[in-house]
Amino acid sequence: MSNRLLAIVEVSPEARIACQANGCGHAVYKRIHVVSINGSLQVLGSECFKRLFGGAIGGNPAYSSSDGRRLTDAERRMLQENTAQLVAQLEAEHEAAQDPAREKLQRISQSGIAREASGGPPHRFRAPLPVRQPAAPRRHLGPTPEAIRKYEAQAKIDVRAKFDVDPNLPGWRGLVLQRITELSKSDEVPD
């Protein structure tokens, strides 16, 4: 099995950890190198990594940036107690970031946005329409229920006179309503 630099990570100075190189044990917190040596994991300070593997293992970690991502407290505990689990997590993160399906989704949604944006002048950069609120009930404006009853009575009289029909039959309701509208718009307020 080959040797491999898996990740470079960082912890807070107060939470520094011991370099695992043989006979070292120095406390390290920056540029901590997680390496796989013949299948077993080792956590090394950057000096020991250079001393032991400089040139033999490339400086480009497989599952992290070469800057060294800062670990959360939980991840730091994992680094010491279960390095393999942390490596698995970093690997999953790395794969999610590289996932072609995700890239594809992103492309699709971006082209969707592009389509919408080029949908012609009337749609381009149109501000969202204000939400129309239902008109507040008009309490002191317009005809009172009493006036409406008077309009209706007058409308029925007018419809009967004009069309010679029974305005109380449902079939003529439209005519009555039309006449009510006319009356309410005019000043012919019946007494």
Q: Which of 6, 32, 48, 87 binds Zn ion (CB under 5 A)?
A: 48
Give yes or no for residue 45 binding Zn ion (CB under 5 A). yes
Nearer Cβ to Zn ion, position 13 or 119?
A: 13
Report in angstroms how near the CB of residue 32 gets to Zn ion at its nearest. Answer: 10
43 binds Zn ion (CB under 5 A): no
* DSSP string covering the chain: ---EEEEEEE--GGG-EE--STT---EE-SSEEEEEETTEEEEE-HHHHHHHHBTTB-SS-SSS-TT-EEPPHHHHHHHHH-HHHHHHHHHHHHHHHH-HHHHHHHHHHHHHHHHHHTS-TTTTTPPPPPPPPPPPP-SSSS--HHHHHHHHHHHHHHHHHHH-S-TTSGGGHHHHHHHHHHHHHSS----
Q: From residue 2 to residue 41, what is the string marking binding to Zn ion with x (rule CB under 5 A)?
A: -----------------x-x--x-x---------------
Nearer to Zn ion, 23 or 39 (CB): 23
The answer to the question of residue 167 lying near Zn ion (CB under 5 A) is no
Q: Which residues bind Zn ion (CB under 5 A)?
A: 19, 21, 24, 26, 45, 48
